[in-house]
Structure formats: C-alpha cells, structure tokens
Chain A
Amino acid sequence: MSNAVDRVQAPFGTRELAIAATEEVGPYRVFSCMDPGGPAPSAGQFYMLSSVARWGGGSDERPYLPRAISVLAAGDGQLSFVVEAVGPGTERLAELAEGDWLRVLGPLGKGFTAPPSGARALLCGGGIGVAPLAILQQELLASGCDVAALLGFRDRGHAAGAEFLEGAQVATDDGSVGHSGLVTELLLAELDRDAAAVIYSCGPPQMLDAVRAISVASGVPAQLALEAPMACGYGACYGCVVKSADGSYRRSCVDGPVINADELAADWLEGTPKDGH
C-alpha cells in the first residue's frame, strides 16, 4: 500500500466548537463555527457531527451515533455546514443555536480531484447534496476553472438551496422553479453542447446512479460524492460500504466519499438505505 497522503488529515479525536452563526435557507439550516484547531478541509470532505448536549433522547430514543455531514464552506478558520431535518440526528443538529456546542471529528474522507486543465466542470447536485458542490465551486472558480452548476430539487421550497452556489441552473420535480423535470436532463443538454468536461455530482442515490449511467455511456468522467450512513467516519466500522465495479465492497468514508463513476458496480444502488432512519 502506498503511504502517499491523499487527503487533508484530521486531528486524532473529536473537538468541541461553539456555533457562531445560524441561518434558515428554505427547509435547510446552515450553521457555522470557528475551528482554530483543525486544518482547512478540501471540497468533498466531511465531518462527523453531534451536539455536545442532548445527543440522544429524540424520536426512538436516538440519535446515538454522530452524523456524517459534508462541509458547505470553509475559510479563515471557519467551517459551515447545512442540514435538512429528516431524522433524529439532523433534527437535533438543526436545533442548534448560536453559542451551543458542536462535537466534530474531521475533516474526513477523500475529496474531489481538480479537472484537467481546459476541461469544464459540470456540477450536478440534488437536494441537500448541493453542499459539497458549493465549496467545490468556490475552489474551482478561484483556480480559474470554467464551472457550470446544475441543481435539482423537489419543489420551490427546497430550491432555496440553489443559493448556496453561484449562477446555478435549477430543475424541480414539480416544475415550480426552473426546468420541470430531472437535473440529469440539464446535464445531458450541457454535454450535448460541449462534452469536454468532468462531472462532479452529489445528491440522492437515484440521482447519483443516473449520473453514473450517463458518465459510463458517454465516457465523460464523473466524480460522485456518496452519502452512506456510517457509524464512525474513519474506516473502523465497515458499515458504509458500496459495491464497486470489481465486486468488492468499499468503505465510502475512507475510500470515498468521492468515487469515480466507473469504479461503482452497475448494481451498487441495491441495498442502499433509504432516507429517514
């Protein structure tokens, strides 16, 4: 095994950070904290988050485990995250107010890789999955890359998440904002226009699988940020595996969360947990 460092490494153990600011954006909750003891993450990396107080005792007497949350923005020692309250863990995180304490481990995982020079970056995201694409867009724009953002949402309310990125084309399932239909239809139109691109994608598993299929069929490389439920985030529990093209299981926490589309098995979606637990 190579000992080359392929990621921003995390301090060993969790640390406690005070929430400095919060903001409601449609159904989403954004919160920020100063992280003087942590390194700056790269786009696509994530943190394991929990609240220092009252983590547990929600619905089903949960949460127990921390939640893996992608970083939305980072800079000057500050970290921002966005959550949508869909279960006991994200419900508690969404309650946190200024001055409350967050427990974090990270940055974790392997993030996105920059496109080859001259290639356009097509950012294709859905729902809460827009978060890692927002920090990626900032990194790519700063490096002078040509970036297009294509974002899909359920409805007008959720489409508020488009504001996390600059100049995004939006699609909604119900047609209430932007293109009526799937974000992958916007992606296909962009590829028709110019296929010299790299696709970067994060969102619901079904959307990621559609992007994977487009990438495999078109030969346009795609980097997919997976969102598997996980217990630890650092390779210990072996719970967050996805099936890869060679038939083996890869841990999305340490071998991902960003994985190339052609490295996933065609039937990787089978067994992927549904939202809500």
Chain B
Amino acid sequence: MAIDLCGIALEHPVINGSGTFDVIAARRVFGEALDTEFPFSAFVSKTITLEPRLGNPPPRLFETASGLINSIGLPNRGLAGYLEHDLPELSSLPVPLITNVMGSNADEVGQLFEALEGCTEIAAIELNVSCPNVKTGLDIGSDPAELSKLLGSVRSKTSKPVIVKLTPNTANVALVASAAEASGADAVSLINTLRAFAADPSRPGKAWLGGGTGGQSGPAIRSVALAQTVAVSSAVSLPIVAMGGISTAANARQFLDAGALIIAVGTESFRDPATAAQIRDGLVALS
C-alpha cells in the first residue's frame, strides 16, 4: 500500500486530519505504545500561526446526531513556540511530519513558510485557508481569486511541497481547487468542517459555543465530503487528501475510489485513537 505523496514516501494511505490528534499529549497518556502502534503514515500538526493563540472560551464542543460541532479557535504556541517546544518532540515520530500553518495575509504566510524552510524534520506544509472558526481563514479559501493571489505571492518562499487545505464553505470548491493548482499547490486536502451553529437549549436564540459559530464534523458530513472529493477530483490532477466523517475502511475505500490518493481520519479518532489503524488494516483486507 506504499504511496508517494508529492515525493514523500508513505507506508499506507491513512493520515490524520490537522488538529484532531496531539502526539505530545498522547505520549503522556499512552506512553511508548503510541510510537510502536502509530496509526498514521504521516503526522499532520495542528494549525500553527505566527503569534500564540489561546483559543476560544469554553464551551467548545456540542454533540450532534452523528458528529459534533467544535469551536476550538486554533490554540497554539505560535511559530517560535512550535519550533522550540513541539518540533523536537514531533521530529522523533516514526513517520514524516506535515506542518499545518495559517496566516491572515500573504505577509504572515510568507513568514511562516520562510521560517519552516530550514527545518529538515518537516516533509511538507499544509496551508489552512479554510478554518471557519477564525475570520482570517475564511475569505481566502472561499474565493478562487483571493487564493490565487495569496499562493502566487508565497509559493516561492518554500521548496517544500505545499498542500492547500480547502474549505467546504464556498460556492464552488472545484473552482477553488483549480485556482490552487494553477497557483503552485502540490496537493489539496478536503474537507474542513462545515460552518455550523449550536443553539443553547436553555437560552433561546443564543449560541451554545463560547466562540459563537463552529464547525460540524463527523459521519454527519461524510456525504458532503464525498461529493466535494468527486468534484475536485474531476477538476484537478493534483494528489487529493480526502477527509470528512471517515469511520471505517469501507468509507475510506469510497473516498479513494472517488479520486483521493490519501485519506485522513479526524473526528473518529476522538472515539478511538486506534481507529486509523483499523482503517489501514481494513483497506488491506478490501484490496
């Protein structure tokens, strides 16, 4: 099942969605078993921003039918904290590391790209232009012209493969994917969470989540993710990393059959951190 993703050799087609697995915390909880039984063929970091972010006030989660709405708000130590504290721990992983970054404009993204350029531990960069929790990400990724402009001005600042993580909160995801391809993206990943609102059961009209709106994930969005994968697959020739409610090997197979090269597991890992390993093993059995 070995795969080549933009020149990175992966042992199998199952990775994690950004922000859905924290290796450093998981090592405290599971010890060495995490590394020996590591379920993903590459590890995607949570989103790193130039400056540290606290994240949104609680509550941050709202369970729905077949999924959940989150409003986490991209908490992270910022670029300097990532390089000093997180990268040394992540570099000892048994798989390639993909670092996810987000900036509110080309200058910020350019600084992030340049700062990571010398980090040989990082195999590729995933560019978050799609997080619906943060105002900055939304506009760029929902508009093909905005995305082209951003990529055009930052693409030359890194020699690493750039995976553009698309937002589903746009009128035509295939047009955005095509713009990414034309502007130097090496791959696209999709989908991020769908913008969602959790109504407070005890305060009519008010938001439950501390951050206001949130993003829906889980099996509830799988059919939407599959539709967008089909649309993007027919619009671009780039490698596709597909995700959105994938819970089983049979689900994963459908995304691969729709044109994805790689699939990512996110929310389902919350229910069982070893889910991705079961999907990996299940894909072997299906093939």
Q: Which residues of A contact B (CB under 8 A)?
A: 1, 5-7, 9-14, 50, 56, 60-66, 103, 105, 108, 228-232, 234-243, 247-249, 251, 254, 270-274, 276-277
Return chain A residues, CB-CB under 8 Å to B19.
238
Chain B residues within 8 Å of chain A by Cβ, number = 47
Return chain A residues, CB-CB under 8 Å to B72.
237-239
Contact present for A236 and B273 (CB under 8 Å): yes
Contact present for B60 and A64 (CB under 8 Å): no
CB nearest to A235 among chain B residues: B25
Check A234/B30 contact, CB under 8 A, given A61-B66, A66-B271.
yes
Return chain B residues, CB-CB under 8 Å to A6.
28
Contact present for B60 and A239 (CB under 8 Å): yes
Check A5/B25 contact, CB under 8 A, given A12-B274, A105-B272.
no
- Per CB-CB distance, the 3 closest pairs between chain A and chain B, nearest first, are A235-B25, A13-B274, A61-B65
Distance, CA A228 to CA B274, complexed state (A): 23
Judge whether B34 is part of the interface by a CB distance below 8 angstroms: yes
Judge whether B113 is part of the interface by a CB distance below 8 angstroms: no
CB nearest to B75 among chain A residues: A238
Contact present for B64 and A64 (CB under 8 Å): yes
Contact present for B57 and A64 (CB under 8 Å): no
Contact present for A11 and B30 (CB under 8 Å): yes
Q: Which residues of B contact A (CB under 8 A)?
A: 19-22, 24-26, 28-31, 33-34, 37, 54-55, 57-68, 70, 72, 75, 85, 89, 201-202, 208, 210, 218-219, 267, 269-274, 277
Distance, CA A56 to CA B65, complexed state (A): 8
Contact present for B25 and A236 (CB under 8 Å): yes
Contact present for A62 and B64 (CB under 8 Å): yes
Distance, CA A272 to CA B89, complexed state (A): 32
Contact present for A62 and B63 (CB under 8 Å): yes
Q: How far is the CB of B33 from chain A (nearest CB, A)?
A: 4
Contact present for B28 and A64 (CB under 8 Å): no
**Which of B21, B54, B270 counts the most chain A CB atoms within 10 A?**
B270
Contact present for A62 and B61 (CB under 8 Å): no
With A238-B72, A249-B75 already in contact, 4 other A-B pairs whose C-beta atoms are closer than 8 Å: A1-B89, A12-B30, A237-B70, A243-B57
Contact present for A13 and B37 (CB under 8 Å): yes
A-B contacts, 18 of them at CB < 8 A, read: A1-B24, A11-B33, A13-B37, A13-B272, A13-B274, A56-B66, A61-B65, A65-B68, A231-B70, A232-B273, A236-B25, A236-B26, A236-B269, A238-B19, A238-B55, A249-B54, A249-B58, A273-B58
